[in-house]
Amino acid sequence: MSRLDALRQHSLVVADTGDLDAIKRYQPQDATTNPSLILKAFELPGYQELINDVLGQIDNSGTLADKASQAVEHLSVAMGSEIAAHIPGRISTEVSARLSFDTQASIRKAHELIALYQQRGIERDRVLIKLASTWEGIRAAEVLEKEGIQCNLTLLFSDAQAQACFDAGVFLISPFVGRVSDYYKQATGKTFHADEDPGVRFVRSVCQRASSGGYSTVVMGASFRSVEQVLALAGCPRLTIAPELLEQLASSQGDVARTIPSTEPFSTLAQPIGHSDFLWHHNTDAMAVDRLADGIRRFSEDQSKLEALIAERLEKP
């Protein structure tokens, strides 16, 4: 048995890619899109007809910048719809990182994305709206969840973020492994064994908090740098894994041991975290502050690069 199949005995596997060929090959349960992944997929031959079709339908009444921004959303949904046809589960689609601190704008954008999916025959129960785990993003998710629009809260690096998501009844959270490890590796100069890896230990603690508190929120480990990090989180309900790591798992044989218990002793629910406590506890964690800000900047920068590429195509006769 491949280690990928063995891993599937403990965790649902999600593809961290927009590459249709990789999705068809590794057959994940769920998949995701965001500006960074679309940027990587923008030049793939398999998407060129779809890209040209989407760009040909963009409203020409606005400025070039407006049209490029609109095209990113339409392209996210078009690619997401293509991916949804090849997976049994959900497609996560990201609200622009530029809206990470605007609750109402995030809610409006989520509604627009759901409407675009429905125009393509993909109903809301196949979509997860992806939002940054800021206080404002979590509040937007709380509203959307009550409307029946389920959410994936990303860029999660602190216990405060996790608790606020649990309190809000968020469907799924994505605590990051690799970006936490990167921070501590740079800060200390150390290379960590998987069991001692700060990113692995953080995600394990989030899984324990969710399980022991009896929260319904699904925990999905994300941002892996190595197969060893992935295997160290076997038993985390979901793991989103990039194609190169999926290939390493699929091409090697062996058993995979569960490293996260399937159940934890049920304990009293933690007190809901308020706004000021959220800000205090999150901001006392230097790593979390650094990684959240860096993640928002990176997603925003990739969206700007994608918009520039789209603007170039739109200007061509």
Length of the chain: 317
Residues 6+ apart with CB under 8 A from 72: 35, 38, 96, 303, 306, 307, 310
Choosing from 40, 109, 130, 146, the catalytic residue is 130
Q: Are 176 and 152 in contact (CB under 8 A)?
A: no
CA distance 171 to 156: 14
Q: Are 206 and 219 a contacting pair, CB within 8 Å?
A: yes
Name residue 236's amino acid.
C
Q: Is 215 left (phi over 0), alpha (psi -120 to 50) or beta?
A: beta
Helices (H), 169-268: 178-188, 198-212, 227-231, 243-250
The label of the residue with tokens 């649902």 reads 12
The answer to whether the CB of 238 falls within 8 A of the CB of 221 is yes
3 state DSSP class of 177: coil
Active site residue 190: no
Name the residues annotated as catalytic: 130
